[in-house]
Amino acid sequence: MIQNPFQSADGAKRYAAGRPYLHPLFMERLTPWLSEEARGKGGVGADIACGTGLSSVALAEVVNQVWAFDLSSSMLAEAAEHARIKYAQAPAEELPLDANSVDVITVAQGIHWFDRPAFFAEARRILRRGGVLCVYDMFFLGHSTGEPLFNLWVKQHYNTRYPAPARWPYTLDEAQATAEGFSFWEEEFKHDLPMNRTQLVSYLLTQSNTIAASDEGREASEQIAEWLDRELLRFLPDEKNGFISFGGIIRVLKYQS
């Protein structure tokens, strides 16, 4: 059964503390696809599966008003306050917005938890003609230099001890977009981020696999943090930064009807 693990108060606090703010990298790529009206004072966006609001804050740098929604009250309790963002609890498939009311919808690392046909129907309902749906994801790729021992540790130890929970596929291609009434554009890129061991542990505690492990009672979050810190010491000694690679993929779907 597909179940979004980002629901608990502990997971929300970890997410707020450890997620890197890479979202502006995606907004830079999204902005050229928006109309001048959307980028102006009347521009309205909807950020779906907003979590603790990182993606919402990034969208607020592109449009004037943002409606931000998440299923988790715990995530919303950790969301960053912003004068032009209004948060509310709602599922992606049933949004409390009027028809033809938004210029752009963003989904950051969330579409693999949605009932996708129902979500696309809702996106078509709330988007204005020519509106844009932007679906983007960032992925932990390992050490930026391809350090073999570190990347082997990720594969054989970290991913084995904390397997990813079940989810719908990340795949979203032109055929699916066209069938749902959208045009399709996609770009992949890589971004290297300097991180010390404490920062990397904090980030890994925000991933769905470690959150699922603690929420399901397999390990306490403190145990996971201690194990990660011990394991990563060999790669990132105290006070040492390493460059960690994140993969990015952005898909821009423009509503045709």
pLDDT along the chain (257 residues), means of 10: 73 93 97 92 95 97 97 94 97 97 95 91 95 95 80 93 82 92 96 94 95 93 97 89 92 90
pLDDT at 2: 55
Residues 9-255: name the CATH superfamily.
Answer: Vaccinia Virus protein VP39 (3.40.50.150)
pLDDT at 184: 97
Phi-psi sector, 66: left (phi>0), alpha (psi -120 to 50), beta: beta
pLDDT at 40: 84
Q: Report how far residue 44's alpha carbon sits from residue 41's, in angstroms, rounded to the nearest whole number.
A: 9
pLDDT at 29: 97
